[in-house]
Amino acid sequence: MAELWLQFVLTIDATLRVATPLILCAMAGIFSERSGIIDISLEGKMLLSAFTAASVAALYGSPFLALGCAVIVSMLFSLLHGFACITHRGNQVISGLAINILASGLTVTVGIAIFAQGGQTPFLMSEQRFSAITLPFAETARHIPVFGTIYAEVISGHNLLVWIALLSVVITGYVLFRTTFGLRLRAVGEKPEAVDTAGISVTLMRYQAVLIAGFLCGIAGAYLSIAHGAGFVREMTAGKGYIALAAMIFGHWRPVPALLACLMFGFLEAIAARLQGVEVPFLGPMPTDLILVLPYVLTVILLAGFIGRAVPPRSIGQPYIKER
Amino acid sequence: MPFAVSMSGICKRFGAVTANDHIDLNVLSGDIHGIVGENGAGKSTLVSILYGFYTADSGTTEIAGIPYTHNTPADSIAAGIGMVHQHFMLVPNFTVLENIILGHEGYKQLSKSMDQARHMLSSLSQQYGLDVDLDAQVGDLPVSLQQRVEILKALYRDARILILDEPTGVLTPQETNQLFDILRALKKQGVTILLITHKLREIMAATDHVSVMRGGRMIAHLQTADTTPDQLAELMVGRPVQVQKQWHKANKGAAIVSVKDVQLTRSKTQNLLSDITFTVHAGEILGIAGVAGNGQSELLNILAGIIAPTAGHISYHDHHIDAGNPADPQKIKSLGVAHVPEDRHASGIVLPFTAAENAALGYEKNVSGGYGHAFLSPQSLRARCAKLMQRFDVRPADPNLKSSLFSGGNQQKLVLAREMSATPSVLLIGQPTRGVDIGAIEFIHQQLIDMRDKGCAIILVSVELDEIMSLSDRIMVMNNGRIMGLVEQATANVKDIGLLMAGVQ
Amino acid sequence: MRKPLPAWVDISIMPLINIAAAFVVAGIIIALIGENPFTALAVMIKGAFVYKGALGYTLYYTTNFIFTGLAVAVAFHAMLFNIGGEGQAMIGGLGIGFIVLSLDPILPPLLVILLAIPVAAIFGAIWGVIPGWLQARRGSHIVITTIMFNFIASSIMVWLLAGMLMAPGQMSPETRHFADGVSLMQIHHIGNALGWPMARSPLNLSFVIALIAAVAVWVLIWRTRLGYIIRATGHSEKAVIYAGHDPARIIMIVMAISGGLAGLMALNEILGVQERVILNFTSGYGFTGIAVALMGRNHPFGIVLASLLFGALYQGGAELDFEFQTITREMVLMIQGLIILFSGALALMFVPAAERIYGKLASADRSSDTRKGEQNG
């Protein structure tokens, strides 16, 4: 029983670790899409920033510098997305897709050019990474039943970026619904002409939104390569950006529901990892591939309106054209 | 005393089109100043420039005697200009309060801005008698209240000059009068008002001065008291216009359209149409009047087979259609019913298609394929189109031209030509002259009268009451999805119909 | 003065400018990582066309791109963005696997092949029509659903190939080999049989099928009633309803055709080359189809040309692996991303400048004409 409890607590702990990049990307997606810009380039920006973070950490040793550079690179690609979709009124899906494919090619090409390790970066030492922060009394608390295990395993022992991810949910909620900036941002995604005639630049609002999205994606990428992992591996985002997009839709473009969706999807991944190779009576080995595909299946079912309806911001995907 | 607004030499081009050609405009402070002109005369462009929504290519503007170079709506708002756009600039899923403060919040923190605005707005709405529930969602409000929100929004920004662009299109005659009362109250408080409209009746009723625009130019400035609707119409069009009715008495034939107890429900509680029963005879025009959104569009779409009614039945000649067994548009067409849809740009034509392609929309099967049933040959599409263009005087008569490059009037003529090509016995037509210039309006009206005289039964839906009254043999008035009354041409007058439109029986 | 561009400039010059921009940026990146972009280009051209058998390989890649490019383009004509070509091709391959593995012990090879071709299309069509149905009848956005369907298809493949379809005694996730003769004939065999000696290459009969598909798509879109309605659906669903057609039905038909074309891509890889079903045989060709369709302006002729370019890039890119330490075939992925960016998302970027230049040229032309006129007069 105690063993099962520990297994459960460890799965919850893993859930949080797996969900961290999803949460950051989902918040990024919320900012972008609430302003009316579809962002399927979460995946690509995360990949680029994961690569940047690992490279800078490997070359200069400072995880904070690495994080900073990752964020800047991600924001630069947000600018590119904005340049295509806002300034040149390009198709937002196509632009996002271009960035994703570009990211796949660019990370490997530059990676080989710098490190000559087939597109990987060197293994990072612990001082080059964000390491786990053990909270006070975690070791002593471990022996207290229930709460103690939760404190020691789930709450303590996470790195800084996990906490930043959770904080980002609070900040996103506050900014969107409690500030003037948030009011304008939401308005621009619903009815840009109303914002324009009220004397606010739609272009500027949307650029700000995509830049914030880039900022958050950058942290997510850095988390993958210099906090959760210890270096960059090609295609290391492995569809996480798309899962985050799914979580955002699942959460109806709202921060807290999106957080819950991220945790649910993270839990599925964590549990699939735990069940790997476990024999199920009559079925043989656990079909973990099928557990991993659940987020996608659930999102399809949600979008089809079989479990509630996901209504996106009204003007999403449409470039704002003022003059006829 | 300086003018409230003084614009001179304003020019604005969009690509090859000159929307404003050296426009001068002077508006007296505290005046209600009307600007009239046909569609495409450049009125909206001019006020959009004044509001900073577009930037003029050249020309100068003075506000209250101070030279003013503004480029953005923000500058204009700061200069005391407010605008109520034809299509409301409101976020439907925001509350009234959120919409009013948008862009003018005052504080970074939303709750503080809201508290301050709530306080200010209560005194504002008292001062002008503009009552609205600040916490209602804008999307749930009727259009007349949404318009009130727009006016409040402008006043909240301290507008001293208020521009209203076609504000009455969505209002009943009574609501229009209420709006004019509000405008007069604003005038008393010293607000200068610019009223853009194409309805001469409203100019005569509400304004002190009027400016007339035609084809991108300013034609005349007049004192309203010194002019007549006929004079204004002539100035708008540039030649004498036949203002009297084209209507003459009809030779009614047998009843060929009969609609009985038609219902349309959206949800358990919401009826879009209830108890619709009427008949139309051969050689008769039945006009359906009503403020936009009172069920006329749905009725027209049901008659055309585009939406299925929840209950009731319809018959064309001897063919009966009921709710349990609805007909699709192809079937309806085969019964000799043609349909010119209300929304030409969305339904009537496919804008990026060529004229030749659009001339076959819905009649693809009538184009001789050449290779067999599944195929369409471009040559036969073009030949068919050329014939229709000639018969209905569509200009330019080029079947290969993209439909978006034709003027509204010529697009509408092409649609009409296409629908007439099957020589229908029933014509359903919605907003026949929306976005159409006066020359084409006369042509289209004459075609409708001619068709009627040849024995066609016509059901005409229009929000232009003047159009309904000048063409219809009988007028059916709708309000909130119900028939409020049927009026014979001989006894029809604006006041009674207006009351029926407002739902007063 | 800006002047709207004439159609011929719009369909010939503008795409070339956009592609050129993509190559210039790629060249700059190559230079930044310390290699000579022109040398790289020379290596790629040699690799794609010059070496013995190179052209065959190039055309073999081209085949994949024609199928996936057409798939994207057909959907684009109805303004549907089918990002699911990858998944549809996978499922098409799975269909081939099912039919061949179950029938090749009992039926003659030719019959199995003739059955496998429509089955590939049907399986792909099914994987396309479900997102189509979800969009048409349930209102879910096709971009998101097709993305999700790619992942779902990929999981199904892993699950089946590592499970019930895995060849006995195998450790890698793939099926057993198809029976002898169950494959599309390779072109060099045909050539040699006809007395034209050809270098060995994986180019096979599916290339011919791809060209036929391109012609069929052209006829469909521009010469049939269905194509007319498909294009109308793309521009205005309301107009289609008004004309008496059901846009939901059209959307499903279009997605079936689109998915079917993507499914046919599996012919080239599974029935033409591998002769068994393997994991990840689609290698991102479904996504390349998007670049191909954008570059080819959704016109079958343009798509064949764009496919040829991408075929050359892929084959030439493989050559980069041998010749350079630092640049690899991932370079091609980068170029592909840049092409999607410039021909797709930034397609309008150069238009204002081009209009200005064209306006100048046109007015210069006219003024010289009038001068001539004056002299004559």
Do C31 and C158 share a domain, yes or no? no
- Angle formed by the axes of helices A202-223 and A42-60, nearest 10°: 50
Number of separate domains in chain C: 2
Q: What is the mean pLDDT of chain B?
A: 88
Q: In what order do the strands lie in the sheet with B271-281?
A: B271-281, B255-265, B311-316, B319-322
pLDDT at B404: 86
The answer to whether B335 faces chain C, any CB pair under 8 Å, is no
Neighbouring-strand partners of residue B181: none
Percent of chain C clearing pLDDT 90 (strictly above): 61
Q: The CATH number of the domain where C274 resides is what?
A: 1.10.3470
| All domains in chain B, ordered by first residue | 5-237 (3.40.50.300), 253-336+424-505 (3.40.50.300), 349-423 (no CATH)
Q: B457 burial class (0-12, 13-18, 19+ CB within 10 angstroms)? A: buried
Do C150 and C26 share a domain, yes or no? no
pLDDT at C197: 85
Average pLDDT over residues B133-137: 93
B217-223 and B17-27 strand pairing: unpaired
In sequence order, what are the residues at sequence separation of 6 or more whose Cβ sits closer than 8 angstroms to the Cβ of residue C193? none
Is C335's CB within 8 Å of A105's CB?
yes
Confidence of residue C329 (pLDDT cuts 50, 70, 90): confident
* Chain B residue closest in CA terms to C240: B347
* Chain C residue closest in CA terms to A296: C148
Do C279 and C347 share a domain, yes or no? no
Do C74 and C148 share a domain, yes or no? yes
Instruction: Assess whether pLDDT exceeds 60 at residue C368.
Output: no
Backbone angles phi, psi at C300, to 5 degrees: -50, -40
| All domains in chain A, ordered by first residue | 2-306 (1.10.3470)
The whole model's pTM is what? 0.89
pLDDT at B492: 85
- Angle formed by the axes of helices A2-34 and A42-60, nearest 10°: 110
Instruction: Assess whether pLDDT exceeds 60 at residue B369.
Output: no
Is B102's CB within 8 Å of A198's CB?
yes
Q: Where are the beta strands (DSSP E) in C262-336?
A: none
Do C245 and C346 share a domain, yes or no? no
* Contact list, B373 vs chain C (CB under 8 Å): 225
Please give the DSSP secondary-structure letter assigned to residue B402. Answer: B
The Cβ of residue A168 has, within 10 Å, a number of other Cβ atoms equal to 23
Q: How many secondary structure helices (H) and strands (E) does chain A include?
A: 14, 2
* Contact list, A94 vs chain C (CB under 8 Å): 81, 290, 294, 340, 344-345
Q: In what order do the strands lie in the sheet with B457-461?
A: B337-340, B426-430, B457-461, B284-289, B474-479, B482-488
Do C355 and C273 share a domain, yes or no? no
Beta-carbon pairs below 8 A across chains A and C:
148
8 A C-beta contact, residue A212 and residue A21: no
Q: How far apart are the first and last CA of chain C?
A: 28
CA distance B198 to chain C (A): 28
Using DSSP, state whether B214 is helix, strand or coil.
Answer: strand
Structural domain contains residue C241: yes
Residue of A176, A178, A179, A180 to mutate, interface with B, max B Cβ within 10 Å: A180
The Cβ of residue B8 has, within 10 Å, a number of other Cβ atoms equal to 13
Structural domain contains residue C60: yes
The three-state DSSP-derived secondary structure of C316-332 is HHHHHHHHCCCCCCHHH
Percent of chain A clearing pLDDT 70 (strictly above): 97
Structural domain contains residue C208: yes
Residue type, position B7, single letter: M
User: In what helix (H) or strand (E) does residue B424 lie, and over which residues does it extend?
Assistant: none
Confidence of residue C372 (pLDDT cuts 50, 70, 90): very low
Do C264 and C231 share a domain, yes or no? yes
B217-223 and B209-214 strand pairing: antiparallel
Do C329 and C281 share a domain, yes or no? no
8 A C-beta contact, residue B320 and residue C255: no
Instruction: Assess whether pLDDT exceeds 50 at residue C374.
Output: no
CA angle B58, A199, B207 (to 5 degrees): 70
Structural domain contains residue C371: no
Residue of B339, B350, B371 to mutate, interface with C, max C Cβ within 10 Å: B350
Q: From the list A191, A322, A324, which residue is nearest B91 (CB)?
A: A191
Using DSSP, state whether C204 is helix, strand or coil.
Answer: strand
Residue type, position C134, single letter: L
* Contact list, B350 vs chain C (CB under 8 Å): 231-232, 235-236, 239
Instruction: Assess whether pLDDT exceeds 90 at residue C73.
Output: yes
> How far apart are alpha carbons C285 and C332 in whole angstroms?
12
Do C2 and C98 share a domain, yes or no? no
Taking the C-alpha atoms of C329, C333, C339 and C342 in order, what is their torsion angle to the nearest 10 degrees?
-130
pLDDT at C356: 87
ipTM: 0.90
Do C107 and C220 share a domain, yes or no? yes
Instruction: Assess whether pLDDT exceeds 80 at residue B195.
Output: yes
The answer to whether A146 faces chain C, any CB pair under 8 Å, is no
Q: From the list B75, B87, B94, which residue is nearest A187 (CB)?
A: B94
Short-list C115, C125, C91, C144, CA closest to C253: C125
Q: From the list A183, A201, A323, which residue is nearest B102 (CB)?
A: A183
Beta-carbon pairs below 8 A across chains B and C:
69
The three-state DSSP-derived secondary structure of C232-256 is HHHHCHHHHHHCCCCHHHHHHHHHH
Q: Where are the beta strands (DSSP E) in B234-384?
A: 255-265, 271-281, 284-289, 311-316, 319-322, 337-340
Using DSSP, state whether B191 is helix, strand or coil.
Answer: coil
8 A C-beta contact, residue A235 and residue A104: yes
Residue of C334, C336, C338, C342 to mutate, interface with A, max A Cβ within 10 Å: C334
- Chain C from 290 to 329: CB within 8 A of any A CB: 290-291, 294, 325-328
The Cβ of residue B105 has, within 10 Å, a number of other Cβ atoms equal to 20
Owning domain of residue C331: 1-35+324-363
8 A C-beta contact, residue A74 and residue A49: yes
Please give the DSSP secondary-structure letter assigned to residue A88. Answer: S
- Max mean pLDDT among B173-187, B262-276, C57-71, C168-182 falls in C57-71
Instruction: Assess whether pLDDT exceeds 60 at residue B357.
Output: yes
Confidence of residue A276 (pLDDT cuts 50, 70, 90): confident
* Chain C residue closest in CA terms to A101: C337
Structure tokens at B423: 């020589």
Please give the DSSP secondary-structure letter assigned to residue A21. Answer: H
pLDDT at C264: 97
Short-list B428, B391, B430, B398, CA closest to B413: B391
Any idea which residue has 């009843």 for tokens? B255
Residue range B105-123, pLDDT digits in tens = 989 999 999 999 999 998 8
CA distance C357 to chain A (A): 19
Structure tokens at B284: 């008769």
Confidence of residue A324 (pLDDT cuts 50, 70, 90): very low
Do C343 and C301 share a domain, yes or no? no
The Cβ of residue B372 has, within 10 Å, a number of other Cβ atoms equal to 7
Distance of CA B189 to the CA centre of its chain: 31
> How far apart are alpha carbons B124 and B113 in whole angstroms?
16
Radius of gyration of chain C (CA): 23
Q: In what order do the strands lie in the sheet with B17-27?
A: B17-27, B5-14, B58-63, B66-67
Average pLDDT over residues B65-91: 88
Average pLDDT over residues A114-124: 88
Is C333's CB within 8 Å of A296's CB?
no
> How far apart are alpha carbons C242 and C231 in whole angstroms?
15
Got the DSSP string for C108-137? -HHHHHHHHHHHHHHHHHHHHHHHHHHHHH
B58-63 and B66-67 strand pairing: antiparallel
Q: From the list B73, B78, B110, which residue is nearest A196 (CB)?
A: B73
Please give the DSSP secondary-structure letter assigned to residue B491. Answer: G
Structural domain contains residue C46: no
Structural domain contains residue C372: no
Any idea which residue has 């057909």 for tokens? C74
Do C273 and C336 share a domain, yes or no? no
Structure tokens at A69: 């550079």
The Cβ of residue B398 has, within 10 Å, a number of other Cβ atoms equal to 17
Which range is least confidently modeled, B393-407, C166-180, C363-377?
C363-377
Dihedral over Cα of C66, C71, C74, C78: its sign: negative
For A320, B15, B437, the CA distances from A323, given in Å and listed in that order, are 10, 11, 22
For A312, C70, C203, C269, C293, the CA distances from C206, given in Å and listed in that order, are 42, 14, 8, 9, 19
Short-list A33, A27, A12, CA closest to A264: A12
Q: From the list A99, A119, A303, which residue is nearest C144 (CB)?
A: A303
Confidence of residue C288 (pLDDT cuts 50, 70, 90): very high
pLDDT at B465: 85
Instruction: Assess whether pLDDT exceeds 80 at residue B423.
Output: yes
Q: From the list C4, C224, C239, which residue is nearest B361 (CB)?
A: C239
Structural domain contains residue C222: yes
Residue of B14, B347, B411 to mutate, interface with C, max C Cβ within 10 Å: B347
User: In what helix (H) or strand (E) does residue B18 lie, and over which residues does it extend?
Assistant: strand B17-27
Please give the DSSP secondary-structure letter assigned to residue B490. Answer: G
> How far apart are alpha carbons B257 and A87 in whole angstroms?
53
> How far apart are alpha carbons B407 and B410 in whole angstroms?
5
Structural domain contains residue C43: no
